């Protein structure tokens, strides 16, 4: 993608997801690298600072930079609330937009072939 | 009145059968709008048509006739609608009204519940909610702000580029308020059973819409397709769902993957205009039939006066 990324909700989610996926705190440079996209360093910095201010991330000083980590302690509460929403019946699920529903009779072999061709073994 | 009043039903029948297929050939955003607007117009015009048919029979009830200043005999003589048809419409109205109210209440409750859940979540201000569990799940929850939910299992299983696809896809659902389209079509289909297949078509169209947004934002259709296939493969096996829902979807992820590997969907202006024209035909039929019934009442009024 030639043009720079626009700031959006998805971008912030992406940075936060990167913190979640990492096992140890990450500096902005490490976050930028882990995303492997065309995000500018300053953009990553800005988003990390915003996440810290919102209480979604913690940070600690490592050398000259801060290392950021996702705040985990409220995740259980959020998960319980989501589960409660889904457990209140089939109707509740109808307003959620699932990425894949896991119900359909998909052609698994064709899908696996596609994944293998593009990124190697899907299980790997 | 003899023909017009049946147009909404005829068009609903055609739309109910062909719209799912046609919508897959249109760009998904346009398909979604055509399905939601079309289903509302068809449900409303069908409701009007049934009402008109029922009125021809109700007009023969003595009390109604005296209010309308005509005689039962005159109404019966000029009635263009067969009794049994009018009676069927009269019976169908309360049944369908009950169904649509039930569907609307259920949807409204579900949406309110989603909004309430979003409001109570601990991490206000950020859209992303990570479920600290190894399973594979990702979905969007409407609210203010809406939330994108992803399980830790999926988060760590996908490479960054594919993770981004999932997040862009779910954010697209929220940005374009897809749940509204899906809800509107479901409610319209409850009112008009001829449209029973449209809710599924609408949810497929919104998924495709979000897929296309993700493909555009990531700038890579192949990675978008791969993320979809990959997530589907990861979620196989332990995903236990009630079997009744099983029949509702068919090979959807495979179709979405194929669409992404194809070129971006193109305009199809002629097909779009045809769909709009067909929907318009139903509305025109209902409007014209309303006018015809009005004239019928005037006719029987003057016929009654002459006697």
B126 CB neighbours in chain A (<8 A) are 12-13, 16, 51, 54, 56
Q: What does residue A27 show for φ and ψ, rounded to 5 degrees?
A: -80, 160
Q: Quick check: B8 and B192 in contact, CB under 8 A?
A: no
Question: Percent of chain A at pLDDT above 90?
Answer: 37
**How far apart are the CA of A42 and the nearest CA of chain B, in angstroms?**
19
Please state, rounded to an integer, the average pLDDT across all residues of chain B.
Answer: 90
Nearest to residue A75, comparing CAs of B155, B26, B261, B215? B155
Which of B29, B180, B11 shows the shortest CA–CA distance to B110? B180
> How are beta strands B147-151 and B128-131 bridged, if at all?
parallel
Q: Per-residue confidence at A3, pLDDT binned at 50, 70, 90?
A: very low
Asked if the Cβ–Cβ distance from B235 to A102 is below 8 Å, we say yes
- Inter-chain residue contact B141 with A82, CB threshold 8 Å: yes
Please say whether the beta carbons of B128 and B150 come within 8 A: yes
CA distance to partner chain A, nearest, from residue B216 (Å): 9
When the pLDDT of each residue in chain A is averaged and rounded to a whole number, the result is 81
Is the Cβ pair B230, A115 closer than 8 Å?
Answer: yes
* A13/B106 Cβ within 8 A: no
Residues of A in contact with B213 (CB under 8 A): none
Partner residue facing A21 (CB), from B107, B155, B206 = B155
Decide if B42 touches A, using CB distance below 8 A.
no
Contact flag B167-A14 (C-beta cutoff 8 Å): yes
Q: Which residue has the higher pLDDT, B240 or B180?
A: B180
The pLDDT assigned to A103 comes to 54
CA distances from A42 to A29, A39, A47, A67, B126 (A): 10, 8, 9, 15, 20
pLDDT at B301 over 50: yes
Distances (CA, A) of B305 to A42, B78, B171, B298: 85, 14, 66, 11
pLDDT tens, residue by residue, A82-107: 888 888 776 777 777 777 765 556 67
Asked if A96's CB is within 8 angstroms of B140's CB, the reply is: yes
Q: How many CA atoms lie within 13 A of B187 on its CB side?
A: 19
Q: How far apart are CA B8 and CA B283, in angstroms?
A: 7
Q: How far apart are CA A117 and CA B257, in angstroms?
A: 14
Residue with tokens 């289909």, as numbered in its chain = B189
The answer to whether the CB of A4 falls within 8 A of the CB of A41 is no
pLDDT, tens only, B19-34:
999 999 999 999 999 9
pLDDT of residue A8: 67
A102 and B241: CB-CB below 8 Å? yes
What are the strands of the beta sheet with B147-151, ordered from one edge?
A: A97-98, B138-141, B147-151, B128-131
Phi, psi of B130 (to 5 degrees): -100, 125
Q: How many CB atoms lie within 10 A of CB B102?
A: 12
B71 reaches A (C-beta below 8 A): no
Nearest to B207 by CA among B184, B190, B224: B224
Comparing CA positions, the residue from B7, B37, B19 lying closest to residue B196 is B19
Q: Which two tokens stand for residue A35?
A: 């995303």
pLDDT tens digits along B89-138: 999 999 999 999 999 999 999 999 999 999 988 877 889 999 998 988 89
Interface membership of B187 toward A (CB under 8 Å): no
Phi, psi of A22 (to 5 degrees): -80, 150
Contact B7, B282 (CB under 8 A): yes
Are the Cβ atoms of B107 and A95 closer than 8 angstroms?
yes
**CB of B236 within 8 Å of any CB in chain A?**
yes
Q: For position A4, what pLDDT does the model report?
A: 46
Chain-chain contact of B114 with A85 (C-beta, under 8 angstroms): yes
Strands A97-98 and B138-141: antiparallel
Report the pLDDT value the prediction gives residue B267, as an integer from 0 to 100: 81
Phi, psi of B69, rounded to the nearest 5 degrees: 60, 45
- The pTM for the full model equals 0.89
- Of the CA atoms within 13 Å of residue A65, those in its CB half-sphere come to 13
Contacts of B210 in chain A (CB under 8 A): 97
pLDDT of residue B2: 78
Burial class (CB in 10 A: 0-12, 13-18, 19+), B120: middle
Distance, CA of B143 to chain centre? 20
Q: Among B71, B33, B40, which residue's Cα sits nearest to residue B189? A: B40
Contacts by residues A49-53 (CB-CB < 8 Å, ≥ 24 positions apart): A50/A12, A51/A12, A51/A15, A51/A16, A51/A19, A51/B126
Give the torsion sign (CA, A45, A47, A49, A52).
negative
With 0-12 / 13-18 / 19 or more C-beta atoms within 10 angstroms meaning exposed / middle / buried, residue B31 is buried
Question: Cβ contact (<8 Å) for B229 and A112?
Answer: yes
Contact B110/A9, CB-based, under 8 Å?
Answer: no
Q: Which residues 91-150 in chain B show a CB within 8 A of chain A?
A: 106-107, 109-111, 113-114, 117, 120-133, 136-142, 145, 148-150
Is residue B21 within 8 A of residue B291, CB to CB? The reply is: no
pLDDT at site A123: 46
Q: For the segment B75-103, what is each residue's pLDDT rounded down to a tens digit?
A: 999 988 999 999 999 999 999 999 999 99
C-alpha count within 13 angstroms, C-beta hemisphere, residue B290 = 14
Q: Positive or negative, the Cα torsion across B62, B63, B64, B68?
A: positive
Cβ–Cβ gap A82/B250 under 8 Å: no
Return the SS3 of B228.
helix
The reply to whether residue B126 touches residue A34, judged by beta carbons under 8 angstroms, is no
Q: Which ipTM was obtained for this model?
A: 0.85
Instruction: List the single residue in B with minimal CA-CA distance to A37.
Output: B161
pLDDT at residue B247, rounded to an integer: 27
Task: Pick A75's closest partner by Cβ from B127, B132, B248.
Answer: B132
């Amino acid at each position: 993608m030639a043009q720079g990324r626009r700031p959006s909700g998805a971008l912030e989610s992406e940075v936060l997801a990167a913190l979640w996926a990492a096992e140890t705190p990450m500096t902005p440079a490490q976050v930028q690298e882990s995303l492997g996209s065309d995000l500018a360093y300053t953009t990553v910095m800005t988003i990390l600072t915003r996440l810290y201010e919102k209480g979604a991330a913690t940070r600690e000083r490592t050398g000259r930079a801060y290392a950021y980590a996702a705040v985990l302690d409220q995740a259980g509460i959020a998960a319980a609330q989501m589960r409660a929403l889904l457990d209140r019946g089939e109707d509740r699920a109808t307003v959620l937009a699932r990425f894949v529903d896991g119900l359909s009779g998909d052609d698994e072999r064709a899908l696996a072939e596609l994944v293998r061709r593009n990124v190697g073994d899907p299980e790997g | 009145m003899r023909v017009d009043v049946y147009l909404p039903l005829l068009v609903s029948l055609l739309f109910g059968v062909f719209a799912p297929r046609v919508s897959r050939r249109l760009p998904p955003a346009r398909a979604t709008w055509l399905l939601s607007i079309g289903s509302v117009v068809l449900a409303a015009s069908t409701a009007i048509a049934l009402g008109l048919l029922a009125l021809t029979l109700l007009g023969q009830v003595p009390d109604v006739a005296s209010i309308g200043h005509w005689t039962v005999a005159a109404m019966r003589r000029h009635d263009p609608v067969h009794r049994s048809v009018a009676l069927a419409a009269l019976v169908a109205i309360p049944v369908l009204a009950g169904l649509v109210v039930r569907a609307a209440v259920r949807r409204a409750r579900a949406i309110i519940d989603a909004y309430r859940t979003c409001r109570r979540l601990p991490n206000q201000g950020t859209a992303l909610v990570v479920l600290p569990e190894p399973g594979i799940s990702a979905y969007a929850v409407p609210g203010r702000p809406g939330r994108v939910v992803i399980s830790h299992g999926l988060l760590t299983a996908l490479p960054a580029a594919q993770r981004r696809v999932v997040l862009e896809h779910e954010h697209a659902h929220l940005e374009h308020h897809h749940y509204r389209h899906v809800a509107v079509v479901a409610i319209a289909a409850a009112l008009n059973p001829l449209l029973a297949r449209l809710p599924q078509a609408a949810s497929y169209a919104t998924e495709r819409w979000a897929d296309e947004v993700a493909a555009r934002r990531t700038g890579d259709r192949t990675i978008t397709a791969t993320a979809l296939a990959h997530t589907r493969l990861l979620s196989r096996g332990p995903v236990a769902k009630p079997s009744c829902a099983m029949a509702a979807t068919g090979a959807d992820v495979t179709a979405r993957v194929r669409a992404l590997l194809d070129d971006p969907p193109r305009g199809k202006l002629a097909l779009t205009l045809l769909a709009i024209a067909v929907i318009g035909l139903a509305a025109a039929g209902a409007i014209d039939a309303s006018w015809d019934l009005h004239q019928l009442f005037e006719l029987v009024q003057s016929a009654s006066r002459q006697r």
